[in-house]
Amino acid sequence: MAAVLLLPLGIVLGLYVFIYYNFIRGRQCKSDSSLTGKTVIVTGANVGIGKMTALDMAKRGARVVLACRVKETGEAAAYDIRSLSGNNQVLFMKLDLASIASIKSFCKTFLSSEPRLDILINNAGIEGKGKTEDGFNLVFGVNHLGHFLLTHLLLDRLMQCTPSRIVVLASSAHKRGRIDFKNLNPSGETWMEILQAYCDSKLANVLFARELANQLQGTDVTCYAVHPGVVLTNLARGFPYWLQVLFFPFAWIMLKTPVDGAQTSIYCAVQEGIEMYSGRYFANCQVQQVKPHARDDAVAKKLWEVSEDLLGLTK
């Protein structure tokens, strides 16, 4: 009887492995570039894609700063990464992207204590309702404005350590995004509004990378927007509990692992020869064309200017 049950179970398991490795997992970063002597910041590196990205950077010999909101999980992740990589140059620094004061404090601490910054990976993201400490829509405030300000404050150090790179974690959700300059700060209370705000913020990420590349022409700093794939992370922690329970069994089976989801971020951080694609959108470890609304330079430039105004950078 047991043998009869094991046969179909083995077939199902074998079929799942075949489907995952051929259709879900995606390409892997094959670069063996060393990062010895270089410094990397990864935001949201305490869990998921960010943690796996930081682990890869540490294995390549980089000094890695885990920029995270929660001290306990950030320090635990740093300990894990040091143990797994054998690299003791992995440290936690507190950063809350929902707080302008926290972002400024992080940058002040980093710039006064770390002489180098070679790679900035804007990985952290959120889906949830509410406002930031400064009154912005939480999703737009963290996913776009927080990283916009962080990049702005660290850009001089990146320019001092060229060639350097900036990786912005976007998403294919940008396809359903829209930039409504009359309503950049929606209430975002229902989960449908939260989903739309997330799509809008991911479009903002793609446009930010595009305009940043335009601003950086003539320098040796390059930037890339990245779609990690659909990955099993805790990103949906802001959703209603019933929806998380309903979604989890499907997610556990059909979504990428964080290790596989980190591959395109890693690729854009270390792969040689992609500098000509600065400002472009990458998925599955290769550059991809985006729809017209995601490569509208006029909208990208206006979003940059509006973001500066919202953050008080033009005063």
DSSP per-residue string spanning 45-91: TTSHHHHHHHHHHHHTT-EEEEEES-HHHHHHHHHHHHHHH----EE
The answer on pLDDT for 95 being more than 50 is yes
Q: What is the pLDDT of residue 163?
A: 98
Q: What is the pLDDT of residue 252?
A: 46
Q: For the residues 142-151, what does the mean pLDDT come to?
A: 98
CA 137/CA 134 separation, integer angstroms: 9
The answer on pLDDT for 177 being more than 50 is yes
Q: What is the pLDDT of residue 239?
A: 53
The answer on pLDDT for 231 being more than 90 is no
pLDDT tens digits, one per residue of 119-144? 999 999 998 889 999 999 999 999 99
* Phi, psi angles (nearest 5°) of residue 118: -105, -30
Beta-bridge partner residues of 13? none
Q: Does pTM top 0.85 for this prediction?
A: yes
Q: What is the pLDDT of residue 20?
A: 47
Percentage of the chain exceeding pLDDT 90: 76
pLDDT tens digits, one per residue of 81-94? 999 999 999 999 99
Percentage of the chain exceeding pLDDT 70: 83
CA 67/CA 103 separation, integer angstroms: 10
The answer on pLDDT for 249 being more than 70 is no
Structural domains of the chain, with CATH? 27-310 (3.40.50.720)
Q: What is the pLDDT of residue 4?
A: 57
Least Cα distance to 21 among 33, 13, 11 occurs for: 13
Least Cα distance to 91 among 45, 133, 50 occurs for: 45
The answer on pLDDT for 256 being more than 80 is no
Q: Who's near 68: CB < 8 A, 6+ residues apart?
A: 43, 44, 45, 46, 74, 77, 92, 93, 94, 95, 124
Least Cα distance to 41 among 269, 315, 212 occurs for: 269
Provide the annotated active-site residues. Answer: 198
Confidence class for position 188, pLDDT limits 50, 70, 90: confident
